[in-house]
Amino acid sequence: MKPHYVLAAAIAATSVLALAAAPEPLPAPWQLAGKDPKKFTAGVDQADGVKGAKFIDNTSGDDKAWGALTQAISAQNYVGQRVRFRARVRTQDVSGWAGLWMRVDTHSRQQAAFYNSQDKPIKGTSDWQERSVVLDVPQDAAMIVFGVIDSGKGRVWIDQLALETVGQDVPVDSLQARPPLATAPTL
């Protein structure tokens, strides 16, 4: 075989492999959100080891940026129940932290219930691990929003997602309360 044919065949094979592993766009209703969503990309990864997993990736290099891969649904089927959002999570070079999050909004207020896993962060590079968030859905709930956060540089994948009702024996996740504010300045 002539050298230029070998080179052409190698380039073609490389191009086919690169196209086969190219990510697909996020399916509706998934979207990018957060403080800096334009500094992130998201999609469905087709590479070996993560094929079919949704991902969020900080493409800006901004270590202080954070974004979230998010989906919102009606709370109609979960009103008055305790729900668990669970997924398998994998990270690569996350400089800040990553984790699952969930929020329940009512008709009158946002964040009637909220948890973002900041107290149980995933950092650096990690293999697949199951994580979950459990919240109560109040009687006047309108919407449940859930997903994964990527804070800082790096890429986060989620796969095998589930939203399910659980019993009252499963504890609700909550962030530690902030200490109360001082009533007078310390001078």
d(CA 126, CA 130) in angstroms, rounded, equals 11
Using only the alpha carbons of the chain, give its radius of gyration. Answer: 20
Q: In the CATH hierarchy, which fold is given to the domain comprising 23-166? A: Jelly Rolls (2.60.120)
Residues 100-122: tens digit of each pLDDT:
999 999 999 888 999 999 999 99
d(CA 119, CA 155) in angstroms, rounded, equals 19
Q: What is the pLDDT of residue 5?
A: 52
Say if residue 172's pLDDT is above 90: yes
Q: What is the pLDDT of residue 177?
A: 63
Q: What is the 3-state secondary structure (H, E, C) of the chain?
A: CCHHHHHHHHHHHHHHHHHHCCCECCCCCCEEECCCHHHEEEEECCCCCCCCCEEEEECCCCCCCEEEEEEEEECCCCCCCEEEEEEEEEEEEEEEEEEEEEEEEECCCCCCEEECCCCCCEEEEEEEEEEEEEEECCCCEEEEEEEEEEECCEEEEEEEEEEEEECCCCCCCCCCCCCCCCCCCCC
Mean pLDDT over all residues of the chain? 89
d(CA 176, CA 20) in angstroms, rounded, equals 44
Q: Which residues of 79-93 are buried (b: 16+ CB within 10 A; e: fewer)?
A: eebbbbbbbebbbbe
Q: What is the pLDDT of residue 21?
A: 63
Domain boundaries, the chain: 23-166
Q: What is the pLDDT of residue 14?
A: 44
Q: What is the pLDDT of residue 13?
A: 45
Residues 126-168: tens digit of each pLDDT:
999 999 999 999 999 999 999 999 999 999 999 999 999 999 9
